Chains A and B, each alone.
Chain A
Amino acid sequence: GDSVTQMEGPVTLSEEAFLTINCTYTATGYPSLFWYVQYPGEGLQLLLKATKADDKGSNKGFEATYRKETTSFHLEKGSVQVSDSAVYFCALSDRGSSNTGKLIFGQGTTLQVKP
């Protein structure tokens, strides 16, 4: 079945460091890909998305490019801030034959940014 694999955390960085969180997926169809962020005590918020190969999603300085050839959707940010400390989830939605809109989530990666 469809699945999403993220790099294990926690990831600890100093402020202004470069961030990469790896995400790879397996899907039988042609999925849409998403990154969600969860701040402490809150629900998940959509961070960015991409719906076809080579699309780049971007928001708040974060970027991710849909790479069909490597089945990847790595999250990057050039300079992290303390306020970026959160849990990040990679997810896919595969239309398939049922077109349910279900999201398949990775296990989440905790990012901690230190001043």
Chain B
Amino acid sequence: DARVTQTPRHKVTEMGQEVTMRCQPILGHNTVFWYRQTMMQGLELLAYFRNRAPLDDSGMPKDRFSAEMPDATLATLKIQPSEPRDSAVYFCASGLLNWPNMPQHFGDGTRLSIL
């Protein structure tokens, strides 16, 4: 089965460092989503792309987070500078916009700890 691949799976770094998380969506999917999951807030949508173009990044703290899709096989989420409150699991998901069947396929996440 095709899968969404996220790297790294785990990341521990110190406050103030830059963090880059990568996602390889399923080949042929035209929509990519970034989520953050914490115990307190649950699943939060940070940003999403359609055909590599950003559609909405209103869920992201603009001053420190950025999301890009340099090509169809790679999506990146960067945090600079990182802060302890950014500690969470970050998920990438991809899907094919094909109403009404639009399930999203999730990667296994990047578990980020900011010390």
Q: How far is the CA of A42 from the CA of B111 in the complex (A)?
A: 10
Known A-B contacts A43-B108, A105-B42; the reply to A32 vs B91 at CB < 8 A is no
B98 to chain A: closest CB distance in Å? 9
Contact A89 B95 (CB under 8 A): no
Known A-B contacts A100-B48, A101-B31, A105-B43; the reply to A45 vs B99 at CB < 8 A is no
Contact A42 B108 (CB under 8 A): yes
Question: Which bracket fits the contact residues of B?
Answer: 20 to 34
Contact A43 B109 (CB under 8 A): yes
By beta carbon, the residue of chain B nearest A36 is B106
Contact A32 B48 (CB under 8 A): no
Main secondary structure of the interface of B (DSSP, over half): strand
Contact B55 A100 (CB under 8 A): yes
Residue A102 interfacial (CB < 8 Å):
yes
A59 to chain B: closest CB distance in Å? 12
User: Cβ of A103: which chain B residues have Cβ within 8 Å of it?
Assistant: 33, 45, 104
Interface residues of B in 34-82 (CB under 8 A from A): 42-43, 45, 48, 50, 55-56
Known A-B contacts A42-B108, A43-B109, A100-B56; the reply to A49 vs B101 at CB < 8 A is yes
User: Cβ of A34: which chain B residues have Cβ within 8 Å of it?
Assistant: 103
Contact A43 B101 (CB under 8 A): no
User: What 1/0 flags go to A2-44 for Cβ under 8 Å of B?
Assistant: 0000000000000000000000000000001010100001111
Contact A32 B102 (CB under 8 A): yes
Q: How far is the CA of A43 from the CA of B4 in the complex (A)?
A: 10
* A–B complex contacts, Cβ < 8 Å, 20 sampled: A32-B99, A32-B102, A34-B103, A42-B108, A42-B109, A43-B108, A44-B91, A44-B93, A44-B104, A46-B103, A46-B105, A93-B100, A95-B100, A100-B48, A101-B48, A101-B50, A101-B102, A102-B33, A108-B42, A108-B43
Q: Which 10 A-B pairs have the closest CB atoms?
A: A43-B106, A51-B100, A44-B106, A101-B102, A32-B100, A43-B108, A46-B103, A101-B97, A105-B43, A107-B42
